[in-house]
Amino acid sequence: MFKTFLQVLAILPTNYVAFTFFVGTMAMMAACVFFFFEMSNVDKKWRTSILVSGLITFIAAVHYYYMRGYNLETGESPIFFRYVDWILTVPLMCVEFYLITKKAGAKIALLWQLIFASVVMLVTGYIGEAVYGKETQSWIWGLISGIAYFYIVYLVWFGEVANLARNAGPAVQKAVKTLGWFVLVGWAIYPIGYIAGTEGGLFGMKVFQGLSMDIVYNIGDAINKIGFGLVIYALAQSDKGSTQSA
């Protein structure tokens, strides 16, 4: 029965990459519907954050649909579609930090710092993967991308985001800390895929070679994009509960 189901989708039972694209499409689609419908069930001050979560998963669902088709037709990794998705969704994930700390005094400068760092991380990652992916110097671009990533980690864990969260109440502080773990651990999944998919590997060493880059990326996307939204939703619900009890 499972094989018949895959045949309807034009996916071979051994094509695990295409199957993860299909699962990713459905998971992102279900998540975006959930977030959009739940907007009316949270306090008004959190609706923009829930809306952004819905947009992140909606954009991802659309791109995953096209990435699955591209992979089935060509058998290649949809690097271009992947980075188009990320250049839209990752900055939006960074926007979430600004939105939930805005009440504690977050300035627009923080928003632009997060967006700029995420764009640098993605653009240099794309150059290393798509332009120099078959050459050993791809690790240089991966290193630059990594520096931008660690700057975001710094802001969230020790910098302005962390300082604002401490003054925003226990619910926001808990949410920022949880999102920080997603950035520190969840986003660390992506370098594994990058290393596996480029000749440069890790500083020229062939580490993680043999792993499917797309499967690693697909798992990372599902964990991080849906997980980010669920953390924001949990924050909105806990804040509503504390307001009602007060």
Q: What is the pLDDT of residues 133-179, one digit of tens each?
A: 666 677 888 889 999 999 999 999 999 999 999 988 898 999 999 99
Contact between 89 and 77 (Cβ < 8 Å): no
DSSP 8-class letter at 205: B
Distance CA 221, CA 86 (A): 9
Say whether 97 sits in a helix, a strand or coil.
Answer: helix
Distance CA 91, CA 21 (A): 22
> What local confidence, expressed as pLDDT, does residue 210 receive?
55
Say whether 74 sits in a helix, a strand or coil.
Answer: helix
> What local confidence, expressed as pLDDT, does residue 168 receive?
87
Distance CA 73, CA 13 (A): 16
Domains held by the chain: number:
1
Q: Which domain holds residue 71?
A: 2-245
> What local confidence, expressed as pLDDT, does residue 139 receive?
80
> What local confidence, expressed as pLDDT, does residue 113 receive?
97
> What local confidence, expressed as pLDDT, does residue 52 receive?
97
> What local confidence, expressed as pLDDT, does residue 2 receive?
46
> What local confidence, expressed as pLDDT, does residue 6 receive?
44
The residues, any chain, with a CB within 8 Å of residue 40's CB and separated by 6 or more, are: none
Phi, psi of 194 (to 5 degrees): -65, -45
DSSP 8-class letter at 132: S
Nearest CA among 152, 170, 189 for reference residue 100? 170
> What local confidence, expressed as pLDDT, does residue 8 receive?
41
CATH number assigned to the domain comprising residue 207:
1.20.1070.10
Q: Quote the pTM value.
A: 0.88
The segments of the chain whose pLDDT lies below 50 read 1-8, 245-246
Phi, psi of 168 (to 5 degrees): -105, 5
Contacts 24+ apart (CB under 8 A), 73-80: 77/197, 77/213, 77/214, 78/214, 79/126, 79/129, 79/130, 79/133, 80/130
Distance CA 72, CA 18 (A): 7
211: β partners: 209
Distance CA 106, CA 121 (A): 22
| pLDDT digit string, tens, across residues 4-22 | 444 445 555 667 888 899 9
